[in-house]
A and B are shown apart, each in its own frame.
Chain A
């Protein structure tokens, strides 16, 4: 079945460092790909998305490119801030096996940014 694998955390960085969180997926068809962020004690917020191969999603300085050839959707940011500390989830929309567009999530990667 479809699945998402994220790099394990926690990822600890100093402020202004470069961030990469790896995400790879297994899917039939052509799913949409998402990054959601979860701040402590809160629900999920959509960070960015890409709906087809080679699309680049971007928001708040974060970006990720849908790479079909490597089945990846790595999250990057050039200069992280303390306020970026959160749990980041990569997800795909299961468009192929159902008509619900249900989201399949990775296990999440905790990012800690130190001043």
Chain B
């Protein structure tokens, strides 16, 4: 069974740039959630994708957007990067039915984004 994988591991960008982070979900999972973890803090929910559609969103601006593909892998896109976007971005996969995903979420290793 393959776990959740994320790429790249680390990324350095400058303010105003755009970034795309990628996530492959665990085998058998159809739901992907993205979280932002600032240094020294707990993760904060960004949004969730279920069967290629956004299924819920946290308190993040529209410049945070995502995609989910037919194989259930996912991308997180952040436009117009700000210094405060520097964080560890975590992807978690789970199994949901009809858009209800209350199953346990399994996390990937994360992508460390630094915005200069």
Contacts and interface: CB of A to CB of B under 8 A. Distances in A.
Interface of A: 4, 32, 34, 36, 42-46, 49, 89, 91, 93, 95, 98-108
Interface in B1-20: 4, 6
Contact of A101 (B40, B43, B88, B105): B105
A103 B45 contact: yes
A11 B96 CA distance: 36
B107 A43 contact: yes
User: In the complex, which range does the number of interface residues on chain B fall in?
Assistant: 20 to 34
Interface in B54-78: 55-56, 58
Nearest to A34: B104
B101 interface: yes
Contacts, number: 72
A30 B102 CA distance: 12
Interface of B: 4, 6, 33, 35, 40-45, 48, 55-56, 58, 88, 90, 92, 94, 96, 99-110
Contacts of B55: 99-100
A36 to B, nearest CB: 7
Contacts of B102: 32, 93, 95, 99, 101
A83 B55 CA distance: 38
B56 A102 contact: yes
Contacts of A34: 104
8 contacts: A42-B109, A43-B107, A89-B42, A91-B42, A101-B100, A101-B102, A101-B105, A105-B42
Given A42-B109, A45-B107, A100-B48, A107 B41 contact: yes
Nearest to A107: B42
A43 B108 contact: yes
